[in-house]
Structure 1
Amino acid sequence: MPASSPVDVDLALVGGGGAASLVLAALDRHRVTGVRVAVVDPVHKRGQDRTWAFWGTPGGDLEPLLSASWSRVEVVTAAGRRVLPLDPLRYAMVRSAPVYDRAAEAERRLDAVRIGAPAGELRDDGDRVTVCDPEGRALVRAGWVLDSRPRKPARPGRTSWLQHFRGWWLAAEGPTFDPGRAVLMDFRTPQPERGVSFGYVLPVDDRFALVEYTEFGPALLDDAGYDAALRGYAALLGLDLSALRVREVENGVIPMTDGPFVARPSPRVVRLGTAGGATRPSTGFTFSAMLRQADEVAAAVAAGRPPVPAPAYPGRHRWMDAVALRALDRGHVDGVEFFARLFDRNPAERVLRFLDGVTSPAEDLAVMRSSPLLPMTGAVLGDAAGRLRARLGAWRPGDPVAHQRA
């Protein structure tokens, strides 16, 4: 329930999901002391409600929390199966329960205040931010607010797709899965008219695995559609569903758009997670960028600096994502061919680093050269024309023209 008078803190986390949980753990890891922290969320996240997968090097703070990790993964097309060795990287899976548990431990050590109420407007006067409930009552006054609540982009993108998926956690009585390698993308699934689909398998051991169906595209399926797609993919894998038990079901929808997410909507409010641009538009990957954001925020707080992370991805990557989305959406390139060429013509480490947004400009050029040249050139020109039209649409005849010095 909201307090009768607002709580006064140095740092308020609005939203208590994955992004906030990683920030709390990072503040604890950086041994932040003397900073008053509040968490504002009507739900105290606990248990298994999602799974995150990411690339990284072995070791590090998340190592004890991992459910599984793999030093090689598979990319499968109708033409065959490609096994990708990932050294020195590895693909890792962490489930939500240990992440939430660690955040709760960090919250206790930080002596954070938890406000179990929904947040509404954030009123930033440039010196302090007042976090209000939906009725306008003040809950918290903070020096800085980190807001990870989901939201739409500031304006619609020129291309707006969704990564949407359903996964079954399947349990078997006997050895069924290969725990030595994960299936990253299996493109043998029936392809939608617009977009691309693939299956994916993350085995925890030989008797328990997440089997998932994913689509990139403009429209969602209904429940029956996802279940039918999963049954079809299980058949492709040779799994006998009558001999397996669906222990859990996971669903998700992630934006894939070149529409802008404003990471700094006011002087003392910083957005994190998808709302802060952590989702890679061309793939939907988010977790690695959230990890970076959390560590940068905690390092800044520990040093007495403003808790403002760097942009999640370089500007050139956002441009490349916009071009790739346009090419896929307009049918300039075939989705399966696009991703298959990406893995066929680049070392696995380069692809994974690119998808995480940490490649150098030289590596980015190598990735671009692996794409179909003529179709992607058309997408580049179309993207440039779209940007020009958007600028001209924002300028109306009679508006003053700003003169720039040459």
Structure 2
Amino acid sequence: MRSSVDVDLALLGGGGAASLVLAALDRHGVRGLRMAVVDPVHRRGQDRTWAFWDRPGGDLDALLSASWPRAEVLTPTGRRVLDLAPLRYAMLRSGPVYERAAAAERRLGATRMVTAVDTVDDDGDRVRVRTSDGRTLRAGWVLDSRPCPPARPGRTNWLQHFRGWWLEADAPVFDPGRAVLMDFRTPQPARGVSFGYVLPVSDRYALVEYTEFSPTLLTGAGYDAALAGYRDLLGLDPARLTVREVENGVIPMTDGPFVARPSPRVVRLGTAGGATRPSTGFTFSAMRRQADQIARALAAGRPPVPRPAYPRRHRWMDAVALRALDRGSVGGPQFFARLFDRNPAERVLRFLDGTTTPAEELAVMSSTRLRPMVTAAVGDAAHRLRDRLRPPRPAPLVPAPVRDGASPPERAGA
């Protein structure tokens, strides 16, 4: 019979969310807990990229590949150069994050179990985790970052899906002092929003990416064609470029609810815990907040339960915005362009991260077109009422990432 392991805290999944938790526990001086990390893959190297905004001087500064004090938003009608102060836009590749987490894991004395999870049973006092290799893990608390569908289908179900090329040029072609945050000059899909972006690490090396917010995925050839078109739109000569890496991904954009606390002693993290912003797909900033709140709670002897990733009013605003975009009552490029035209860039970025005040949110909302948003709000309210009057349907599974070379980058929060 395989052995049984008893711990105070178990992390199921070893990707970005778990890595941030391990580093936060170490940083906040949490010691004396018996811990285990259960994941079938021991994460190493550059298998994904995160881009996000924050204030300089944080714990991630030494790990960043690049950061930018300015960013551009482009539409067919103009170019906006955004001064992001006091924030900055930053790029973080996974290799340094995994290395820092591995060092924290060693200092914390955590047990690493390289296996998949079969079942999780919570009796209210302890959680029993059975693994695919026949072992049993008993834990006081479980932090679960494995993919999980929403509790029910959303009223609107879109995807953020993308492909990026890491391009190396044989001569200086990129501006390392400025990132392209959103470039809406790309051909727009019949239903959805598309944009490109450019994250330069140096004047010869950058991540160039094509992204869609839409209900359906493209084919591999479709992503390549869209990326080639965006490369040409940027005026880059393919004969002078080498594709060093390829990154792909799919992130859910849905107002379907993710249950962050499925049982008394199980807490979900990352997308499964509601960290993905429905209207944008941004995830990373909310994962950081979750990790910090968990570590602070454990350091103070409290249960490791973070606050909701976003206020309820933000989830409502996201549902309304998704509905308006899905029904075509607002155009995506126009919607985002108005946000940046009529608000300080720093306010928009904090709004997208879910950290604005109600007064600031009123200012952001007033910059959108009123009639289509009111129509979407009324339609959302009617749909919510219908949902309450009929039995819930099973939710679809969140699509697995499309993979080709490296794994998916998340844009901000990705």
The one-letter code of the counterpart of 2:181 is: L
Residues in 2 aligned to 1:251 and 1:40: alpha-carbon distance in whole angstroms: 25
Residue matched to 1:141: 138
Residue matched to 2:389: 392
**Does residue 1:53 correspond to 2:51, yes or no?**
yes
Residue matched to 2:405: none
Superposition pairs for residues 4-403 of structure 1, below 5 Å? 4-134=2-132, 137-394=134-391
Question: How far apart are 1:139 and its partner, in Å?
Answer: 2.7
The one-letter code of the counterpart of 2:126 is: R
Which shifted more, 253-262 or 240-249?
Answer: 240-249
The one-letter code of the counterpart of 2:136 is: L
CA displacement 1:109-140 (0-9 Å, x = unmatched) = 111000111012110010000111248x4431
**CA RMSD of superposed structures (Å):** 1.0
Question: How far apart are 1:393 and its partner, in Å?
Answer: 1.3
Aligned partners of 1:256 and 1:284 also within 8 Å: yes
Three-state SS of the structure 2 residue aligned to 1:346 is coil
The one-letter code of the counterpart of 1:359 is: T
Q: 1:158 to 1:134 in 2, by over 3 A?
A: farther
Three-state SS of the structure 1 residue aligned to 2:117 is coil
Aligned residues: 392
Residue matched to 1:398: none
The one-letter code of the counterpart of 1:147 is: D
The one-letter code of the counterpart of 1:116 is: V
Question: How far apart are 1:394 and its partner, in Å?
Answer: 3.8
CA displacement 1:54-79 (0-9 Å, x = unmatched) = 11100111000000001110000011
What's the TM-score once normalised by structure 2's chain length? Answer: 0.93
Residues in 2 aligned to 1:33 and 1:241: alpha-carbon distance in whole angstroms: 53
Aligned partners of 2:194 and 2:211 also within 8 Å: yes
Three-state SS of the structure 2 residue aligned to 1:120 is strand
What's the TM-score once normalised by structure 1's chain length? Answer: 0.95
CA displacement 1:366-394 (0-9 Å, x = unmatched) = 11111111011100000000000111114
Residues in 2 aligned to 1:26 and 1:6: alpha-carbon distance in whole angstroms: 27
Residues in 1 aligned to 2:224 and 2:239: alpha-carbon distance in whole angstroms: 15
The one-letter code of the counterpart of 2:242 is: R
CA displacement 1:69-98 (0-9 Å, x = unmatched) = 011100000111100001101011100000
Question: How far apart are 1:15 and its partner, in Å?
Answer: 0.2
Aligned partners of 1:165 and 1:215 also within 8 Å: yes
Three-state SS of the structure 1 residue aligned to 2:72 is strand
Three-state SS of the structure 1 residue aligned to 2:118 is coil
Question: How far apart are 1:50 and its partner, in Å?
Answer: 0.7
What stretches of structure 1 move > 6 A for 4+ residues in a row?
none
The one-letter code of the counterpart of 1:208 is: Y
Residue matched to 2:403: none
Aligned partners of 1:130 and 1:138 also within 8 Å: no
The one-letter code of the counterpart of 2:109 is: D
Aligned partners of 2:115 and 2:132 also within 8 Å: no
Which shifted more, 319-328 or 331-340?
Answer: 331-340
CA displacement 1:165-220 (0-9 Å, x = unmatched) = 00000011221100000000000000000000000000001011000000000000
| Greater relative contact order (CA < 8 Å, ≥ 6 in sequence) | 2
Three-state SS of the structure 1 residue aligned to 2:186 is coil
Aligned partners of 1:14 and 1:145 also within 8 Å: yes
Structure 1: which 5+ runs fail to align?
396-406
Question: How far apart are 1:285 and its partner, in Å?
Answer: 0.4
Residue matched to 1:400: none
Identity of aligned residues (%): 77
CA displacement 1:196-247 (0-9 Å, x = unmatched) = 0000000001011000000000000000000000000000100011211100
Three-state SS of the structure 1 residue aligned to 2:390 is helix
